[in-house]
Amino acid sequence: MLPFRRGAAITANDVKLSTTKYDHESYQAGPLMPGSYTFKLEGSTGSAKKQVDLMGQANVGKAVKLLTTTTTTSTDDVDENDSDDTEDSNQHHTGKALSVLSKDAATAVSVMANKEDRDADDYTYVESQPWDNVTEIKLYDEDSDKLVDTYRYDKKNDILAKYDDATSKFVEVK
């Protein structure tokens, strides 16, 4: 899926796939053969580029975000805290993308996303394994890189728990 601006060209490895018709549109490319792809979004409001390796079952349905920001001629409204939204920027993220997590961590994220009604692609993740069969996932906001929540998933018993700051304990998510 590629969110972007109206009238922008979407390409994969320099082959035009589509042109956007709306602001904040999503486009689903595929099916694609396994390989390395460079997705580009180019339009009058900006451009973005993302290199993606699609290899095997782990990348089926992979979401690729190409975000652009609109530019204005006014310099009075500049917010020095704004960050660049393009995915190909050198912004450092604390966690890893969903696509590079271990199988157990990806399962934990999937369970969390379903039970908590969260979009798994909005976060980066730090995974650890405090005990056998238990995976701990720390969610970091993809844009601000701030810790959002911490979960533990017991795959043997299929139990998801969320860390509660008030009690300093993990509480089961029903």
DSSP assignment of 60-102 equals TT-----------S-STT--TT-----TTS----SSB-GGGS-
pTM of the prediction? 0.48
CATH 2.60.40 maps onto the chain at: 1-90
pLDDT of amino acid 34: 75
pLDDT of amino acid 164: 92
Task: Render pLDDT for 142-174 as a digit per residue (tens, 0 to 9).
Answer: 888 899 999 999 999 999 999 998 999 999 998
CATH architecture of the domain with residue range 1-90: Sandwich (2.60)
Region at 167 (left for phi over 0; alpha for psi -120 to 50; beta for the rest):
alpha
Nearest to 115 by CA among 167, 139, 156, 151: 151
pLDDT of amino acid 9: 82
Q: First and final CA of the chain: distance in angstroms?
A: 30
Share of the chain above pLDDT 90, in %: 29
pLDDT band, residue 81 (cuts 50/70/90): very low
The average pLDDT across 39-49 equals 74
Task: Render pLDDT for 83-114 as a digit per residue (tens, 0 to 9).
Answer: 333 333 345 567 888 888 899 999 999 999 99
pLDDT of amino acid 59: 62
Q: Lowest-confidence range among 42-46, 83-87, 119-123, 135-139?
A: 83-87
pLDDT of amino acid 66: 65
